[in-house]
Structures are given as structure tokens and as C-alpha cells.
Chains A and B, each alone.
Chain A
Amino acid sequence: MNTWSWDYVGDIMPQLLDGLWITVQATLLGSLVAFALGLVWAMALRSPSRWVTWPVGVLVEFVRNTPLLVQLFFLFFVLPGWGLTFGALTTGVIGLGLHYSTYTAEVYRAGIDAVPKGQWEAATALSLPRGRTWLAVILPQAFRRVVPALGNYVIAMFKDTPMLSAITVADMLFEANSIGATTFDYMEPITVVGVLFIVISYPTSVLLRVLERRLVR
């Protein structure tokens, strides 16, 4: 039977906060990758050519329906074999971003679908080129609808970053684990990590709900 020790919590806090910083970095960088790639997938899936839509569709479905953890292992062990040697964090960010890009692609798709058809027709009537139609007409209108949903995926990514510890990224769970392994006392480190997750993700999701109510009418 183990009793909770606040002194112990105080001692390990700096190390856990270092881990938190890595967790936050991984989440933000992963989000950038996911936002950019997701938009690429969403636009590619609207291409008139089946040579584009088919492979992209298969890729998206495959990535969406297989575990992120296994994808991370795949990237971590395979990329060096292809002559691409990255640090663990970079590999983690690529994996996280790629995995979630298949979700953000769906978000963009829904946002683009929500733009009234007349807007496309108007762009055609003005004989705007395809690139300008996207950039000047469609995307600005789709954007405000997708912001809250994208935000939700940022929170989801945040909660998935502990998986990166499995490929030796020194995130919060990794730090908690290594503390536990040296002191044989896992209770405080893992509990603190769990609490830190809630302390960050819950207020963020409340904020997003407020934002959602403002932006989506």
C-alpha cells in the first residue's frame, strides 16, 4: 500500500513539465502537418481525374483504419532503411500529422460541401481560373466552418501524443515512465500526467464549443 506524497510530486514536477513541453511541441507541429496534408487530400479527392482520386482515397482509408501506434513503429523502423534518418520527434510528428490528416481531410470535405453550389457556378460564370476559385471563393467560406472541428482534432492529437513515447520521444508519459522505472513508484508520476492532460484538454474543448457557437450559425 502506497501513500500519496506531495514531496515526491514536487520533486518530479520539473521533469514532467519538460515532457509536457515536448508533448505540446509534438501536438502543434503535428497539427501543422495534419492541416496542410488534409487540405491536399481534400482537394485531390475533388480532382476530376480518377488517377488522382483513387490512390488518394485508398491511402486515406488505409491510414484512417489502421492504428497510429503501428504506423509510428512502421515509420520509425522503416524510414532509416530508406536512407531517411530523422530524430524520434520528427518521425513522431510525421506519423501524427499523417494519421490525423486523414481526419482533417474529412473536415475540409464537409466544410467545402457546405459552400453553396451557386458559389462554384458564380466563379465559373466569372470565368475564374481553378486556382483562384479555390483560393478566393471557396476556401474562405469553408474556413470558418472547419475551424472548430479542426480544433477538436488538435485536442485529439494532444491526447494521442503519449503514443510517441513508444518510439522514444521524451514526452510526458515517457518521463513519467522513466521516473517510475527508477523509483519503483508509478502512482504519482502517471496520475500527474493524467491530470495534466485533463487540465489542458478540458478548458480547450470548452473554448472550442464557445468558438463553434460563434462561428457556425
Chain B
Amino acid sequence: MTGPLWELLFKGAWITVQLMVYSAVLAAAVAFGIGMARTSRLWIVRFLSGVYVEFFRGTSALVLMFWLFFALPLLGWQLAGIWAGTLALGLSYGAYGSEVVRGALQSVAPAQREAAIALSFTPWQRMRKVILPQAVPEMMPPFNNLLIELLKGTALASLLSIGELTFQAKLARLSTGESAQVYGIILVMYFVIAFVVTRVMRVLERRAKASIGQAPKTGGWFSRRLSVSRQSAQPSAVGGGH
């Protein structure tokens, strides 16, 4: 591996990080929007958001990405590769995230909601001042898992020829023929990015828990947790294992 090839890979890593951040922002917006909609009082809102979740969890993220990239132009919209990737990842991981949000919202003690009603808070005040501050720390470990899944999902965008890490690795491999070396290197690069993300999420989790006076559980240096509480209010949120 020579200098220019390393540069190629680092450039790819940078695009991977960008792609991850854009999709994570979109996924978070979707997750909170749909997650809250699923706890709505109106059945039609619950139903439509449920359809959204089942639809995007039911199909494959890669197929969705291909659809957005290859089929959508036939309807008159041509998306740049990176946006097709962002949209596909954000929409599908948002659907997984919405289950996390819903589970966390439902795990807040009902008495808290009743107390807020007794204080005659509006529904929005109730959500913002009582429910969310308690639900958000619950969401952090599963969000950590999802963020790593999202990072791994960005590799799919290489199949749309977006110049992210996996795509650049392909170029590097074609020019050197050193498959084991090139793919070994980028596997380690993905691992390093995942490590950093996990540590940052741990810090955020600790802060969020401290802000409502809870001690965080401690985990190993790296290990993501099997944080889906199967016993609690969220029925098989593992749906996709993502």
C-alpha cells in the first residue's frame, strides 16, 4: 500500500462518516416522529405510523436503496447517489429507531403522566417536560446499537458507486491486487469508527442518566449490549436484529 492509496481510503472513511451522520440525523427525526405518533390517542395516526414501521422494517435496506437510485428516476426524480443512500438508510433505520422510542415512552411510569395531567400540563408540555427527559436515557443503549448498524449499512452505498470507504477499497484493490490487505485494512477502519461511536454514546448515556439522577450500568470496553428488553413493553423490537 502506497501513500496515494492510503489517502484514497482516508477520503473514503471521511465520506463514510458524513454519510453516517446525515442518515443518523434523518433516522433520529423519523424515529422520534414515528415513535411518538405510535403512542398517539388517534387510532388513524397509530395505524399509519404502524404501517410505516412494518413497511420499512419488512423490506431490505439495500433493495430500498436500489429502488430509490434506479427506479425513482423513472418517475421523474433523479437523486444523487449520496442522497439516495442517506434517504434509504435514514428511512429504514428510522423505522427501527421508532420502536426504541415507542418502547422507551411506554416504559415511563404511568403515574408520571397522571401527575402531569393533574398539574394540568398540555399534552406537549407533558411530553417535553415529564415524559421525554425520563425516556431519553432509556433510549441511549439501543440507539448506540442502531448507530453501529447504520455505520455498517453505509457500506451498502458503495454499490451505488458513492465514493465511501468500501467503494474506495474496491478501487485500491483493483490497482494493487492485494485483496486481503485492502479489505483487512478497511475492516479495521470500520471497527475503529464503531469503537469511537460506541464510546461517545456511552458518555452521552452517562450524562443523560446523571441528569435524572440514575447511575449508568457499566459494560465492557467495547461490547454493545443486547439491550432490547424483551420482557418490557416493546414486543420483539429486535425485528430486524438491527
Contact = CB atoms under 8 A, between A and B. Distances in A.
A68 interface: yes
A34 to B, nearest CB: 10
B59 A194 contact: yes
Contacts of B155: 67-70
B240 A159 contact: yes
Given A68-B152, A186-B70, A212-B235, A202 B58 contact: yes
A193 B66 CA distance: 10
A126 interface: no
Interface in A105-127: 106-107, 109-110
A12 to B, nearest CB: 13
A134 interface: no
Contact of A1 (B76, B183, B226, B241): B76
A185 B74 contact: yes
B60 interface: yes
A26 B198 CA distance: 31
Contacts of A74: 179-180, 183-184, 187
A190 B66 contact: yes
B166 A162 contact: no
B131 to A, nearest CB: 26
Contact of B63 (A62, A81, A173): A173
A81 B239 contact: no
Contacts of B184: 74
A164 B23 CA distance: 23
B67 A194 contact: yes
B239 A205 contact: yes
Tell me if A's interface is mostly helix, strand, loop or mixed: helix
B64 to A, nearest CB: 7
A197 B155 CA distance: 21
Contacts of A208: 236
Interface in B143-198: 148, 151-156, 158-159, 166, 169-170, 173, 179-180, 183-184, 186-187, 190-191, 194-195, 198
Interface residues of A, number: 56
A25 interface: no
Nearest to B154: A67
A67 B152 contact: yes
B58 A201 contact: yes
Interface in A171-192: 173, 176-177, 180, 185-187, 190-191
Contact of A64 (B59, B156, B224, B235): B224
B191 A62 contact: yes
B59 A191 contact: no
Contacts of B75: 1-2, 187
A180 B70 contact: yes
A107 B225 CA distance: 11
B190 A67 contact: yes
Contacts of A156: 239-242
A157 to B, nearest CB: 8
B223 interface: yes
10 contacts: A62-B187, A67-B155, A70-B186, A73-B169, A103-B241, A152-B239, A190-B70, A205-B57, A205-B239, A209-B236
Given A67-B190, A194-B64, 8 more contacts: A64-B224, A69-B155, A70-B155, A73-B169, A77-B179, A77-B180, A173-B62, A186-B71
